[in-house]
Structure 1
Amino acid sequence: MQADTVVRGRPHLLYVAWGFPPSRGAGVYRALATANMFAAEGWDVTVLTASREVFEYQTGTDPELESRIDPRITVVRVPFNWDRGQPDLAKWSRTRVASNLLWTYTRSQRDRVAFPEAGYGSWRRSLVAATERVHREKPVNLVIGTANPNVDFTPGWHLNRNHKIPYVMDYRDTWHLDVYRDKRIGSPRSRSARMERRLLGNAAEAWFVNAPIRDWHAANYPERAEVFHVVANGFDQEFARQFVDHQPQTNAEATGLTFGYLGTMYGPMPLRESLEGWRLARSTSALMAKSRLVIRGRLGHYAEPDPALLGLLEEYRHDGVSYEGAVSKTQVAEVYRTFDVLLLILGRSKYVTSGKVFEYAATGLPIVSLHHPDTASTGILEGHPDWFPAEVLSGTHIARLLTRAGESAVAASPEKQRLARAWADHLSRENQLLPRIRDLRALVGGFQ
């Protein structure tokens, strides 16, 4: 469609996200916010996602999150074969019962026939069929696929090849970059690498959550670098508004503080080092000895908490550490308001930003960064007026940081927190997404 063509109606976005409410997977908040913002900006939005039972057995669900979907959005749930996550052994095939290892290998190879992605590749056929149905009923003007899984990119590619519809690849994760080891995954000549190059070669835009990831892809796909954009996660304005009237504790020296972590724990995170620093701080500071550390969120990516992480937290139970479970997105701000100091615990990687760093900043509370300085979140928080970044991940250094942050929280005032929240304004999701939405509106043409 030409940019100067004017048609009646609203542009139609097909948004593809395997994980969408009620999923409580790590990428669901970006997906929900993106779809909602397009709807708010005057687009008709259709979302292709997996069925509810998949999330119930694999990622866990947050039923209340569905209430946050803009009512103007049409959600189409595409059947997804979730046999690999089937917990009921009575429903396993005889072959699987005989050898689950062989069954899993065979299933993995079969998945890759349609698309080179284990566990998800076979979904391509159902996705493409659903895409064609949606396009027939109401012509699509733009497709955005958010990954992973990377099969989410295939509806856009399909409509582009068959109907010249532009598409955007939103990398909330990476496909061929190991973000912790800074190495390419697989050979550049592998089938999946060739597929990625083909998809990027025809994309109108590709979005990445931070500059280091964008730059890695620009170096590996220089011919397409001009369409690569950073679209960071950001925080939602509705979330930030819930801290406007937040008041710091007035009797913290007497009662102690609540230090908090909220997010998903996974990968090589320095959790033990952080807990050792916490234990040491409580042994050297009267304020810290009265304080407690509360962990909220998911332990691992699956519905059931990771037993190794649960066991580690249990080791420090007598040091004022408690794990108090996952949190619905609808209750996140309420939980943050019970904290006095926030702990940002992340694995070392120049490519890992984490979505929660934006919410942390929006609260106006003191933040202790318990991650290596090379981690991408460092660049996000530079300049924050109440930030305590770790230089080394030793127990002694962490203990000092925690104590300093606690003292800062005791001295906090409403004005100090207001200034910290004002500093964070540039990190809102709105500021990240709106420029891209407006450029894409121009790409698909004029609508009245």
Structure 2
Amino acid sequence: MTVNIQRLNASDADFDSALSALLAWDDSVDHQVNESVRHILHEVKTRGDAAVLEFTAKFDRLSVGSVAELEMSQERLQHALKTIPQDQRDALEHAARRVRDYHQRQSQESWQYEEADGTVLGQKITPLDRAGLYVPGGKAAYPSSVLMNAIPAKVAGVAEVIMVVPTPDGVVNDLVLAAAAIAGVDRVFTIGGAQAVAALAYGTDTVPAVDKIVGPGNIFVAAAKREVFGTVGIDMIAGPSEILVICDGQTHPDWIAMDLFSQAEHDEQAQSILISPSAEFLDAVEASIERLLPTMERAEIIRTSLADRAALIQVADLAEAAKVSNRIAPEHLELSVADPQALLADIRHAGAIFMGRYTAEALGDYCAGPNHVLPTSGTARFSSPLGVYDFQKRSSIIGFSAEGASRMGRVASVLARGEGLTAHARSAEYRIQRD
């Protein structure tokens, strides 16, 4: 069965509108989902553990006497680490070392400086007290997400990382638990869905309230995170996964086809885009797609994703490719060109940039080191990958000397009176030294 992938040309008069239509994605949540999520949040907020137990029995078909029974001990995490296949343990530990090493370079330090009159100004960096990590469960098992979310929090100095992961029918994924052990997760509760988000946001007698919730989840989890934002911080509301590849036409077309598949296999809404100055290369990649697709385990998901949301875009040159890419602001951007460093100068918006023909985006998902939690749906225009900085707060430090308070008090007085705030003005004026 042929895959009908949309072909666009940047020189066409209707290219801008066609690209806008391609990128359009409705992130609104169904009214019924919102109502259900709000009900769950309210129940957990008002009834705590009892509500968590009820929803866990209803949605995960797991009935226990107390939420404490849903907590995994550190001994259980270590058991998982010891019993998974050695090659999986080695891979997790290798990936964790690289993720930790990369994120340690993001750590920020407090700083101060002193002005000539003795006034001290600065910034104090403080880690969050407690972070919550949501990890999908059931059929989806993402140990890589455990590493990518928990390790930056620990590097930032977060005292306690609380992980929630659903275990439908009581089925536990040891690979996820092993990743939690490696990443230093402090407590693990086998609860999921909106009820887990509510427990983390509001706290219960058993589950402690956190300061920030991070991690991917289904539509109910995303809706719950949106609802509790403000009570707690959240990482982002992520849309479907995206990849954009800029290629000069010299990379093997099979490689590029498989790179596009690597995002399309996530789900039917994922988006895969290839941009090249060469029409012949676009044809070659399309031929590779047709030949390789039947060999894929998730062929039907890939087929739907490519048919509905993918595009092969022809441009005049690599400079125009960069302009189109900046318009899209992709989550993942591969620069599959002879001199990626030169093209990098033209790239302004992307979650993660993969340099050169050998840098498959999949390496970034698992073991390159940088975080794989990235802005989607064009939000790379103003957002950044998850990092240590997301688990740290910045407090301003202001300490005026007598001389500084006198000098700046005059400035503050003028501005405060200009705003009609007399108490502000007089508070500053009390510190003004009179001749």
Q: Rg: which structure is higher?
A: 2
TM-score range, shorter chain: under 0.3
